[in-house]
Amino acid sequence: MTDIKRMTREELKCFLSEMGEKAFRADQIFSWIHEKRCVSFQEMTNLSKTLREQLYKTAELPVLKIEDLKISALDGTRKYLFSLSDGNVIESVLMRYKFGNSVCVSSQVGCRMGCRFCASTIGGVVRNLKASEILDEVYAIERDTGENVSHVVVMGSGEPFDNYEEVVRFLRLLTDPAGQNMSRRNITVSTCGIPEKIRRFAEEDISIQLALSLHAPDDGIRKKLMPVANQYPLKDVLAACDAYFEKTGRRVTYEYALVRDVNADVSSAEKLGRLLQGRNALVNLIPVNSIQERSYEKPDREALLAFQNALAKYGINATIRREMGADIQGACGQLRRSYLENGRKGALTE
Ligand code: SAH
């Protein structure tokens, strides 16, 4: 079976011409999949019955199934647990903002980067997601809510640059004018920092917003939180981010999860200020979300504001991330973990 949902328009044209079909059929099918978000060939009513049957026999349209859904009573955030056709589960989150609906998508089943504070990485990586599956995280949420999704952040489970090709394919499909047509400035890819992939990403002609999970002002502290820091020194990671900004003109966001007694004191803030000084950088401060498996705690409000103020002295703009869906296991990978540990029933009743 050929997955035609991950095909670009050009690839779809080739696929159909091999079936003896005209090129405009590819445009029709692309529109059914990516504009009208249909889930079966039967719905493609402007195709002949014979073509629909032929497609049914040779092609597939991966569709995610909702296994569990938690809706925040505080802010309407919706956290989805989806199952894939092979039985694996992933999570995606819909956040409602004044500027529109934003979906946080997973790029892998699990993750192998091992960040100490993150629930997604505890069981390691199971497999990469296909572009069609990442896309359907967005489409499935649109089908479920009947609302348009205007923003996407690739900040769910997984390291997007560890699944580089499929993530870039996903981004090309998401921004295709004949499909979802999402604006590039409304899409953010977040990475733990793999310099050669950041540089390669700068060379793609897609100019997506880039966020770096920095989380520390120096290599020593970073290594305590992120094993990937043993592989790539901060100097190289930041140089790659600078190259990204230079090439694309997109200001890089530096994410910094504040962890009490690890990286949240004023001296860390000052170090961070010196590190980023002179860069056109935006820092996003995230009070760490405690997960059951680890003892990391967020700093109190006062320490958070002191950190922000210390950064301001270096001319660094820092926003504090508003917590969304705090009542529904909002942090990365927590819903999937409770599903894996307690089985389906546990996840549904918790
Ligand atoms: N692998 C990518 C994207 C997925 S994680 C990356 O590392 O950027 C998305 C963001 O959530 C990252 O900045 C990650 O460090 C952060 N994160 C993960 N677990 C968290 C937690 N418990 N509290 C706060 N931030 C967390």
Same domain, 36 and 107: no
Distance 155 CA to ligand 1 centre (A): 7
Rounded Cα distance, 244 and 2, in Å: 35
Q: What is the pLDDT of residue 147?
A: 97
Q: Is 91 a catalytic residue?
A: yes
Is 240 part of any domain? yes
Q: What is the pLDDT of residue 205?
A: 87
Distance 212 CA to ligand 1 centre (A): 10
Q: Give 211's strand partners.
A: 190, 253
**Closest listed residue to residue 139, CA positions, set 69, 65, 44, 55:** 65
Res 333 pLDDT > 80: no
Which residue's C-alpha comes closest to atom 22 of ligand 1? 289
Q: Is 323 a catalytic residue?
A: no
From the candidates 91, 133, 166, 255, give the one annotated as an active-site residue.
91
Which residue's C-alpha comes closest to atom 12 of ligand 1? 213
Res 330 pLDDT > 90: no
Q: Which of 137-146, 238-247, 323-332 has the lowest mean pLDDT?
A: 323-332
Q: Give the DSSP letter of residue 251.
A: P
More confident residue, 171 or 292: 171
Same domain, 215 and 168: yes
Q: In the chain, how many domains are there?
A: 2
Res 104 pLDDT > 90: yes
Which residue's C-alpha comes closest to atom 24 of ligand 1? 288
Rounded Cα distance, 96 and 74, in Å: 11
Res 222 pLDDT > 90: yes
Structure tokens at 324: 């969304």
Q: How confident is the model at residue 340 (pLDDT cuts 50, 70, 90)?
A: confident
Instruction: Find out whether 131 and 173 touch, Cβ atoms under 8 Å.
Output: yes
Last residue of a domain, one of 44, 60, 76: 60
Average pLDDT over residues 59-84: 95
Last residue of a domain, one of 43, 60, 77: 60
Rounded Cα distance, 309 and 33, in Å: 48
Q: What is the pLDDT of residue 45?
A: 97
Distance 227 CA to ligand 1 centre (A): 13
Residue that is written with structure tokens 């009947």 in the block: 146
Domain of 52, in residue numbers: 2-60
CA 91 to chain centroid, in Å, comes to 10
Rounded Cα distance, 280 and 251, in Å: 6
Instruction: Find out whether 189 and 201 touch, Cβ atoms under 8 Å.
Output: yes
Rounded Cα distance, 308 and 250, in Å: 23
Pocket test for ligand 1, best of 95, 104, 113, 117 (most atoms within 8 A of CB): 117
Same domain, 297 and 152: yes
Question: CA–CA distance from 278 to each of 106, 238, 266, 300 (Å)?
Answer: 33, 13, 20, 29
CATH of the domain at 200: 3.20.20.70
Q: Give the chain's mean pLDDT.
A: 94
Q: Which of 142-151, 229-238, 319-328, 338-347 has the lowest mean pLDDT?
A: 338-347
Same domain, 40 and 89: no
Last residue of a domain, one of 60, 81, 107: 60
Same domain, 209 and 176: yes
Rounded Cα distance, 227 and 250, in Å: 27
Res 17 pLDDT > 60: yes
Instruction: Find out whether 74 and 327 touch, Cβ atoms under 8 Å.
Output: yes
Chain segment 19-60, per-residue pLDDT in tens:
999 999 999 999 999 999 999 999 999 999 999 999 999 999
Residue that is written with structure tokens 């043993």 in the block: 230
Q: What is the pLDDT of residue 145?
A: 98
Same domain, 70 and 51: no
CA atoms within 13 A on the CB side of 320: 18
More confident residue, 292 or 95: 95
Same domain, 24 and 133: no
Is 347 part of any domain? no
Same domain, 186 and 81: yes
CATH of the domain at 42: 1.10.150.530
Distance 329 CA to ligand 1 centre (A): 14
192 lines ligand 1 (CB under 6 A): yes
Average pLDDT over residues 236-241: 98
**Residues in the chain, overall count:** 350
